[in-house]
Protein backbone atom coordinates (compact mmCIF):
# COMPACT_ATOMS: atom_id res chain seq x y z
CA UNK A 1 0.00 0.00 0.00
CA UNK A 2 1.28 3.47 -0.85
CA UNK A 3 2.24 5.15 2.45
CA UNK A 4 3.15 8.83 2.87
CA UNK A 5 4.98 10.13 5.94
CA UNK A 6 4.39 13.70 7.11
CA UNK A 7 5.81 15.57 10.06
CA UNK A 8 3.01 16.77 12.35
CA UNK A 9 3.11 20.33 13.67
CA UNK A 10 4.06 20.11 17.35
CA UNK A 11 1.44 22.66 18.44
CA UNK A 12 -1.59 22.02 16.22
CA UNK A 13 -0.98 18.42 15.08
CA UNK A 14 -1.75 19.43 11.50
CA UNK A 15 0.00 17.96 8.47
CA UNK A 16 3.39 19.52 7.85
CA UNK A 17 6.42 18.63 5.77
CA UNK A 18 6.29 15.52 3.57
CA UNK A 19 9.22 13.24 4.43
CA UNK A 20 8.83 10.14 2.29
CA UNK A 21 6.57 7.84 0.28
CA UNK A 22 7.00 4.07 0.51
CA UNK A 23 5.13 0.94 -0.55
CA UNK A 24 4.44 -1.07 2.60
CA UNK A 25 1.96 -3.65 3.90
CA UNK A 26 3.05 -3.03 7.51
CA UNK A 27 0.12 -2.19 9.81
CA UNK A 28 1.16 1.21 11.14
CA UNK A 29 -0.53 2.27 14.38
CA UNK A 30 -0.59 5.36 16.56
CA UNK A 31 2.44 5.26 18.84
CA UNK A 32 4.74 3.43 16.41
CA UNK A 33 8.19 5.00 16.05
CA UNK A 34 10.18 5.08 12.84
CA UNK A 35 13.54 6.48 11.70
CA UNK A 36 13.33 8.27 8.36
CA UNK A 37 16.25 9.31 6.20
CA UNK A 38 15.31 11.76 3.46
CA UNK A 39 16.49 15.00 1.90
CA UNK A 40 19.92 14.56 3.50
CA UNK A 41 18.43 14.47 7.01
CA UNK A 42 17.54 11.81 9.54
CA UNK A 43 14.69 12.02 12.04
CA UNK A 44 12.74 9.80 14.39
CA UNK A 45 8.95 10.22 14.19
CA UNK A 46 6.29 8.93 16.58
CA UNK A 47 3.12 8.24 14.62
CA UNK A 48 0.22 10.35 15.92
CA UNK A 49 -2.37 9.90 13.17
CA UNK A 50 -3.13 7.27 10.50
CA UNK A 51 -5.48 8.12 7.62
CA UNK A 52 -6.58 5.41 5.17
CA UNK A 53 -8.20 6.45 1.88
CA UNK A 54 -9.99 4.14 -0.57
CA UNK A 55 -10.57 5.70 -3.98
CA UNK A 56 -11.95 3.58 -6.83
CA UNK A 57 -10.37 0.43 -5.42
CA UNK A 58 -6.95 1.97 -4.70
CA UNK A 59 -5.93 2.13 -1.03
CA UNK A 60 -3.48 4.78 0.21
CA UNK A 61 -2.36 5.80 3.67
CA UNK A 62 -1.06 9.00 5.24
CA UNK A 63 0.91 8.92 8.50
CA UNK A 64 1.57 11.99 10.64
CA UNK A 65 4.33 11.87 13.20
CA UNK A 66 5.89 14.12 15.80
CA UNK A 67 9.63 14.54 15.46
CA UNK A 68 11.38 13.20 18.56
pLDDT means over runs of 10, the chain (68 residues): 94 92 95 94 95 95 96
Q: What pLDDT sits at residue 66?
A: 96
Whole-angstrom distance, CA of residue 45 vs CA of residue 54: 25
Q: What pLDDT sits at residue 42?
A: 95
Count of domains observed in the chain: 1
Alpha carbons within 13 A on the beta-carbon side of 18:
6
Identify which of 65, 60, 8 has the alpha carbon closest to the alpha carbon of residue 33.
65
Q: What pLDDT sits at residue 1?
A: 93
Q: Are 60 and 45 in contact (CB under 8 A)?
A: no
Instruction: Domain of residue 19: give its range.
Output: 2-67
Amino acid sequence: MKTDFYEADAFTGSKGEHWATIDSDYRWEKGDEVWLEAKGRRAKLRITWVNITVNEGAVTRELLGLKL
